[in-house]
Structure 1
């Protein structure tokens, strides 16, 4: 009995030491990733708020963009290359209508910050469509998925209460981040996929249009990191934002009731509930 107990105790101690060693390895790798990425781009994205494509004339479509640094456009060197501006220009070209962009996204935001971003809007502001891209910081800060998703759903509900349709770009694939060493990158990839899947389910149930960024545009970031990422190798470059906006625009048009009969393709989903799409009076 004693030898068996001793063997079991040794195995337990060995397992505990392995867990501690793994945790220390991940801690060191996280510190290394932070040093590699740094803050070469600063913490302020370019201000892209304006009416895009005024030449079309008529009342502009009001587009709101909320979320984290990707939504804010950090990494773009020209305001026309930010995510919001890219989406606005794509919509204007498709609709032959000016688009008034309002970016409420804040660099470094987790999903919990969406409430403050909405609170910061003018009480009289009424967007026609909102695009929300958030989740990467929830993963890196280890926010539990149910907590993260609950904040997203609350934001979607508040946006619907403002009378607009909502498109959610789910958490990008963190496995595309080359500066993050293995096995931390693999763990980040798995966690980001889990959050993205939960976001998609919750967004659909809340009446939003989810777009799987990992599925639609993720392969481009994995296969072409030098072109897709900006100086810090963490945020998208101008080309990365162009590809991300291109991935989102079809679902934005669908949400607005402006489909051309061509299916948007894999990674684009419809909401389970009813969403407002009639903007003829605005």
Structure 2
């Protein structure tokens, strides 16, 4: 097994890794610390984020379409893969109006194109959910023993931060959810806590504090997910340069949730990891030094991933983890729309939505 040197990154990465490990250890032993930031500082950050949310509250946010059904019907209807979607409003697709624009639909469309097989989406995500709701969501998803998911995608964490859930409690709930899904035979990919410093109504200097709190939680999430046999993709500022350069395009009308284009960008970053978890991505898991990939201690890999959105972390031989920066590919399209946007019963490779 080959590792890579991290000495050039200075003490900051080591410090971030220690904080993430401390939060993860606290989850295992029932601790409740909040990391490097003091209670008063965190309180100010959260108050500012709540004000930001209220400032856009007047913008009506439509109830997200569930996007459940079969995708990739061009490959037939038999023996579909079952994709479970769990988490909060980001997982649910809050802010878009069409089923084909939700993360579940986008990921299912891309996965179907890779495996040349239909994919069924089961969406139990709930806008506003915190990590303590994952127990309910997992129970709901696993209730039918005849329809156990092949792979599950979770996006969770933002509401934990804004509602002051201790990070140790947050990651404890996440670890339990991943463990139950893995025990049920599902592969698990977690999109870690997004960067709350990207919310436009949050101003400096609190913007960087919000970013710091979010990334601490994201790193701790990565540690517990990898230790339970899952994989993570850092959502960070929802894929950095694109969102920074085009915030009006990447965020929805409420300036808080992603737009359809924003969700598509996030799905493009997560799709390679979803496929790799199932062993179907046409790219080796071997680290590429030219892409600054490598095998690192889990906490170090988690801290580095939290600093760069779109980075994957997966388990290697304990206590090591593989850090990957997978190449993104465009999602499948049909008539200018993501596959899965078709009407019920479409035979064009799109989505078949069950009738009410």
Q: So what's the TM-score if we normalise by structure 2?
A: 0.66
Q: Which residue, 97, 111, 114 being the options, matches 2:134? A: 114
Cα root mean square deviation, aligned:
2.6
Structure 2: gaps spanning 5 or more residues? 1-37, 294-310, 319-356
Residue 54 of structure 2: aligned partner: 35
Superposed counterparts of 1:197-212, under 5 Å: 197-212=219-234
Q: Which residue of 2 aligns with 1:232?
A: 254
2:196 to 162, 168, 174: 174
Q: Pick closer, same or farther for the CA change 1:128–1:159 going to 2, 3 Å.
A: same
Confirm whether residue 145 of structure 1 aligns to residue 145 of structure 2: no
Q: 1:53 aligns with which of 72, 84, 89?
A: 72
Higher relative contact order (CA 8 A, sep 6+): 2
Equivalent residue for 2:275?
253
Q: CA deviation at 1:174?
A: 1.2
1:87 Cα offset (Å)? 0.5
**CA deviations over 1:225-278 (Å, ceiling 9, x no partner):** 11110000110101001011111110111100113125697611222479xxxx
Seen in structure 2, the aligned counterparts of structure 1 residues 80 and 212 have a Cα distance that, compared at 3 Å, is same
Go from structure 1 to structure 2 and tell me whether the alpha carbon gap of 1:41 and 1:92 turns closer, same or farther (over 3 Å shift). farther
Query: 2:103 matched to 1:83?
Result: yes
| Equivalent residues of 1:43, 1:107 under 8 A apart | no
SS in 1 for 2:264: helix
* Contact preservation (8 Å) 1:69, 1:109: yes
Structure 1 stretch displaced more, 34-43 or 136-145: 34-43
Decide whether the 8 Å contact of 1:207 with 1:272 is kept in 2. Answer: no
Among residues 68, 90, 99, which one is paired with 2:119 in the alignment? 99
Q: How many residues are paired up? A: 256
Partner residue of 1:214 out of 236, 241, 255: 236
The corresponding residue for 1:69 is 89
| Structure 1 gaps, min length 5 | 1-18, 275-282
Task: String of CA shifts for 1:188-231, please: whole Å, max 9, x gaps.
Answer: 11100000111111111110011111277233222221111000
Q: Higher helix share goes to which structure?
A: 1
Aligned partners of 1:211 and 1:269 also within 8 Å: yes
Distance 1:173 1:99, change over 3 A: same
CA distance in 2, matches of 1:22, 1:261: 43
CA–CA distance in 2 between the matches of 1:27 and 1:54? 45
CA distance in 1: counterparts of 2:95 and 2:247, whole angstroms: 14
Tell me, what secondary structure is at the counterpart of 2:315? Answer: coil
In structure 1, the residue matched to 2:183 is 161
